[in-house]
Amino acid sequence: MLITAPFGRTGHQSSRVIFGAAALGGMSESRAITTLDLAFAAGVNHIDTAASYGASEERLAPWLRGHRSEVFLATKTEKRTADGARRQLESSLQRMGVDSIDLIQMHNLVEDDEWKLAMSDDGALPALIRARDEGLVRHIGVTGHGLRIPSMHVRSLERFAFDSVLFPFNPSLMRIPEYERDVRKLREICGTRGVAMQTIKSIARRRWDDGPSGHRSWYEPITEPASIVTAVRFVLSNDDLFLNTSSDATLLPHILEAAQRTITAPSTLDIDELIATEQLTPLFDGATLERI
């Protein structure tokens, strides 16, 4: 079974592998239930979705009818105004067939103008705080992609006591000195304040040469099982980090298997070999794809 750890200060003991429910967005209902059953049987007790993940929330609804009390349920809103965020949250609850969720996250809050609006008196944050006070959500988090997001999360944490953050973490990104520095600062702050840290893109290989259209995930993932083991170990050997699974559900069994092994940190040579063998390149360059 998967190991668990406190999900920050929320009080929940979450599996350190979190099911990334973007994988359900284009699935049939029967395949979605089979995929969720697979993750749950392996010990996953934390599901992360978003209003913008296609039909993901609808696909969760039938499965949640029999498992809601057994999982920590998180979704996201990309709306920046109070009215927009509230409406989208209510729609998410309706689509999933639940009365409340454990975590609502402001999705990809990286652009300065969006950040200022979301944090304003008429922004998403006050609406989500009110929803928490009403019992619709228990906790509030913030997520993001791109090279700027660790520093933006630091800025967000200076404004509000978010319960969780989410950001990319993999060997190619962590070899960018500026990104590594910003992640290290974010981890120090989160560690001190009890903020849960979720990571994404753990098995990202590179951008697709022909673009994301027609693929299960917008980036090309690592598919070789031995390489997935090293990439998963790279994340989970850090006791403070959680790993969100890929939107390519065909790789879920490999990720789950890798996470059930004894987690030891890969050596520098292991990482060098992974980068060379898989030809890993960073997905982000500080400009394009920051808004994904």
Contacts of 265 (CB under 8 A, 6+ apart): 233, 234, 237
Residue 174's CB is within 10 A of a number of other CB atoms, namely 17
**Residue owning tokens 């993940």:** 53
Report the percent of the chain where pLDDT is more than 70. 96
Q: What is the reported pLDDT for 53?
A: 95
Q: Does the pLDDT value for residue 261 go beyond 80?
A: no
User: In the numeric block, which tokens belong to residue 188?
Assistant: 């120090």
Q: Does the pLDDT value for residue 221 go beyond 70?
A: yes
pLDDT tens, residue by residue, 174-196: 999 999 999 999 999 999 999 99
Q: Report how far residue 81's alpha carbon sits from residue 117's, in angstroms, rounded to the nearest whole number.
A: 7
* Domains in the chain: boundaries: 11-278
In degrees rounded to 5, what are phi and psi of residue 197?
-120, 115
Rounded to the nearest 10 degrees, how much is the dihedral formed by the CA atoms of 3, 182, 156, 87? -60
Q: Does the pLDDT value for residue 212 go beyond 70?
A: no
Phi-psi region at 135: left, alpha or beta (left = phi > 0; alpha = psi -120 to 50): left
**Residue owning tokens 């990439």:** 231
Q: How far is CA 257 from CA 1, 17, 219, 230, 262, in A?
A: 9, 11, 22, 12, 11
Q: Does the pLDDT value for residue 68 go beyond 90?
A: yes
Reported confidence tier of residue 209, pLDDT bands at 50, 70, 90: confident
Q: Report how far residue 292's alpha carbon sits from residue 288's, in angstroms, rounded to the nearest whole number.
A: 9
**Residue owning tokens 């940190």:** 265
Q: How far is CA 203 from CA 70, 131, 177, 234, in A?
A: 27, 34, 20, 10
Q: Report how far residue 255's alpha carbon sits from residue 28's, in angstroms, rounded to the nearest whole number.
A: 22
Mean pLDDT of 97-122: 98
Mean pLDDT of 199-208: 93
Burial of residue 262 (number of CB atoms within 10 Å: 0-12, 13-18, 19+): exposed
Topology annotation, domain 11-278? TIM Barrel (3.20.20)
